Amino acid sequence: MIDNALLRGTLRHLGKGMVFSAVLSCFINLLMLIVPLYTMQVYDRVMTSRSTDTLVMLAIVAVGGLCVYAVLDYIRTKVFLIMSDMIARRLNVPTLQAAVIDTLHGSQRNSTQAIRDLNDLRSFITGGSITVPLEVMWVPMFLVVLFLLHPIYGWLALGAAIFLFLMSVLTDILTRRPLAQANEAAARSFSDIASTVRNAEVIEAMGMLPAVAKRWERSQYHMIDLLNRGNTTSKALSAASRSIRLMLQLAMISTACLLVINREASPGSAMAAGMLIGRVLHPFELLIDGWRQWVFALSALNRVRGLLNGTKGRRESMPLPRPEGRLTIDRLVYIPPGVERPVLKGISFSLEPGETLGIIGPSAAGKSTLARLLVGIWEPTAGGIYLDGHSTFLWERESFGHSVGYLPQNVSLLDGTIRDNISRMTEASPLDVVNAAKMADVHEMIGRLPFGYDTTIGDAAYSLSGGQRQRIGLARALFGNPRLLVLDEPNSNLDSAGEQALLHAIAKAKAAGTTVVLIAHRPSVVAAVDKLLVLKDGMIDQFGARADVLKAIAAPPGARQVATAPNVARLVKSEQAIVGQAS
Ligand SMILES: Nc1ncnc2c1ncn2[C@@H]1O[C@H](COP(=O)(O)OP(=O)(O)OP(=O)(O)O)[C@@H](O)[C@H]1O
């Protein structure tokens, strides 16, 4: 599990922060007694004794206490800022990594939502609602003071507090479900927008916008409906509780007045009681208002936790030295998660450093799946892929990336400049970037772009053609002279000049000792390879020297025999046995 310990550690620190804030809140609430007690002393003591010295002394003590109050309140705010900062520092990168891995594993979960959830959590911690339970916790202290002033004050305040607490419980029961559902619906709605924007061209070209907008509008209405249902209930109960609180305060003042008339309490204590009941009831009023934020924050935390706990990121942490490029595929089986039928059914072959292999085969034969497994994106279900004897899946990613180049079928360049993309978003030396560009034969093409290597590419920036993107992707794959180069249909968008450049690049990589695996539909580029592998329905149909395989393919089915290939029939038999074991 990815960073499970890190998440646990962060939650532990947040818990400690909450405990520290609770202790601070205790002193802050104690200091809040200053004003009511000061008022009581002024009315009952200073006014009767007419002593200005006592008044000055009381004022000095009260002002001193209020200064301490300000300092403690500031420290508590600072603790919340530190907690919010800790979430960003400790969880942002692991959450992004988990979101990427989760997406690689084809999860249905909306991974990017977790990043937004982290920001929401940070806003919650620095907002006011987080302190509400801490305020509620110290309410008994004010109740004790009220009981000491007069038991009737105490009982009245206790009854009022219980009544408002029950109202907040009722609010929770009535709003938790619709608000949580609204939150989930809002997350889905954001993901719909992201997908719509990503596919803007297709939507516009085929006039899909009204239909897409209608679908989105429906989900939006559903979300607003749920939100309104939760909010209406919570706002109605909140308004009711506010006016009930004011009525209870009036009841307290009237009771105090009666006690003063009957000489059972002093006027000063009556004033203090009026203030203290406000302190007792105020947190409960906030509790109703803050419930929504708590519900949202907890569901955001649960989503982040679900993503971090549910994402497998099993890799080694020790960087490995640069390999020579010896590639061994040993009885490789791959069954995608949640699927029963294997896509690759026991593939075995090996390549020596500097050898070039072309993989051909019909659509859905498993070529791209094999490419992804070769570069360690997915984990083999059984068997393994080894580069210089070490599993490409387990290999620590950064050191693996330094030795491997990969050009996927969908090139996917990142937002940034051409230089950023070729250098794989590192601060690489210009010489290395230019070398990779020259090797891919794109140096001159880049020179003709508006800002050369500084041209920004990405969604809102300079739009490259499909062929240009593919060739920049090739330069990125060639950056750093990789020991293993995996190219998945690198010529799908290339014209004949582009294909020639690709053949030169492969020849240069081979001359530099790079092991090259090239997946192709068009036979033109496999002319550059030493060996050919024909993949059919997830199994090796032919493997051997290029000329032999091409001859075997051309021969009638019954006469097929590749001299240099392993005995295919025996291999397929053993592969099928492995598939049986794996499934
Ligand atoms: N994550 C996955 N979950 C389920 N099925 C998958 C997954 N990945 C691949 N497949 C299935 O595996 C088969 C092989 O897919 P793959 O993309 O490897 O084929 P291919 O040989 O590269 O095809 P093409 O030449 O059309 O690109 C397909 O039937 C595909 O649906």
Q: If you average pLDDT over residues 89-104, what whole number do you get? A: 83
Q: Is 377 close to ligand 1, i.e. is its CB under 6 Å away?
A: no
Q: Which residue shows structure tokens 């794959």?
A: 477
- Going through 326-445 in order, the beta strands assigned E by DSSP cover 327-334, 344-351, 356-360, 382-387, 390-391, 404-407, 416-417
Instruction: Tell me what pLDDT residue 69 has.
Output: 95
Q: Is 367 in the pocket of ligand 1 (CB under 6 A)?
A: yes
Q: Does residue 68 or residue 282 have the better pLDDT?
A: 68
pLDDT of the residue at 342:
92
pLDDT in tens, 26-45: 999 899 899 999 998 998 88
pLDDT of 48 reads: 85
Centre of ligand 1 from the C-alpha of residue 54, in Å: 87
Q: Give the nearest ligand 1 atom to 538 CA.
A: 14
Task: Determine whether the shortest distance from the Cβ of 364 to ligand 1 is under 6 A.
Answer: yes
pLDDT of residue 457: 83
Map out the domains of the chain with their CATH numbers. 90-310 (1.20.1560.10), 327-407+476-582 (3.40.50.300)
542 vs 198, residue with greater confidence:
542
pLDDT single digits (tens) 159-209: 988 988 888 888 888 887 888 788 788 877 877 787 787 788 788 888 888
Least confident of 72-76, 414-418, 440-444, 458-462: 458-462
Residues 244-249: contacts with CB under 8 Å, at least 24 apart: 244/163, 244/164, 244/167, 245/160, 245/164, 245/281, 245/282, 245/284, 245/285, 248/156, 248/160, 248/163, 248/277, 248/281, 249/274, 249/277, 249/278, 249/281
CA torsion, ordered 163, 167, 173, 178, to nearest 10 deg? 180
Atom of ligand 1 nearest to the CA of 371: 18
Task: Confirm or reject: Cβ of 262 under 6 Å from ligand 1.
Answer: no
Mean pLDDT of 469-486: 93
Q: Whose CA is nearest to atom 3 of ligand 1?
A: 336
31 to each of 110, 237, 252, 497, how far by Cα in Å?
46, 31, 22, 80
Q: Is 243 close to ligand 1, i.e. is its CB under 6 Å away?
A: no
What does the pLDDT read at residue 570? 41
Ligand 1: centre distance to CA 140 (Å): 64
Handedness of CA 387, 388, 393, 398 (dihedral sign): negative
CA distance 428 to 240: 64
Residue type, 228: N
Distance CA 256, CA 157 (A): 12
Closest ligand 1 atom to Cα of 521? 25
Pocket of ligand 1 contains residue 290 by CB under 6 Å: no
Q: What percent of the chain stands above pLDDT 70?
A: 91
Angle at 13 between CA 8 and CA 19, to 5 degrees: 125
Higher pLDDT, 137 or 63: 63
- Residue 341: CB within 6 Å of ligand 1? no
Instruction: Please tell me if the CB atom of residue 107 comes closer than 6 angstroms to any atom of ligand 1.
Output: no
Model pLDDT, residue 564: 37
Mean pLDDT (whole number) for 315-341: 89
Does 334 have pLDDT greater than 50? yes
pLDDT of residue 566: 42
Pair of tokens at residue 462: 């300079």
Looking at per-residue pLDDT, the higher value among 534 and 108 belongs to 534
State the alpha helices, DSSP H only, in 424-465.
430-439, 443-447
Helix/strand/coil for 356? strand
Contacts of 145 (CB under 8 A, 6+ apart): 33, 36, 276
What 3 state SS string does 54-123 have? Answer: HHHHHHHHHHHHHHHHHHHHHHHHHHHHHHHHHHHHHHHHHHHHHHHHHHHCCCCCCHHHHHHHHHHHHH
Alpha-carbon distance of 6 to 91, in angstroms, equals 8
Q: What is the DSSP letter of 413?
A: P
Q: Give 202-241 pLDDT, tens digit per residue.
A: 888 888 888 888 888 888 888 888 888 888 888 888 888 8
Q: What pLDDT does 576 receive? A: 43
Q: Over range 493-522, report the average pLDDT.
A: 87
What confidence tier does 108 reach under pLDDT thresholds 50, 70, 90?
Answer: low
CB of 467 within 6 A of ligand 1: the answer is: no
pLDDT at position 573 is: 43
**Other Cβ atoms closer than 10 A to 212:** 15
Distance of CA 192 from the midpoint of ligand 1 (Å): 25
Residue 533: pLDDT above 60? yes
Q: What is the pTM of this model?
A: 0.69
Distance between Cα 538 and ligand 1 center (Å)? 10
Name the average pLDDT for the chain: 85
> What average pLDDT does range 345-357 have in this prediction?
93
In 378-527, where do the E strands start and end?
382-387, 390-391, 404-407, 416-417, 456-457, 484-488, 515-519
Residue 558 has pLDDT above 70, yes or no: no
User: Which of these, 28, 117, 119, 30, lies nearest to 79 by C-alpha position?
Assistant: 28
Which DSSP state fits 130?
G
311 band by pLDDT with thresholds 50, 70 and 90: low
If you average pLDDT over residues 150-165, what whole number do you get? 90
Greater confidence (565 vs 477) lies with 477
Cα separation of 265 and 253, whole Å? 12
Interval between CA 430 and ligand 1 midpoint (Å): 38
- Considering only residues 543 and 168, tell me which one the structure prediction assigns the higher pLDDT: 543
- Has residue 571 got a pLDDT over 70? no
Strands, DSSP E only, in 290-378? 327-334, 344-351, 356-360
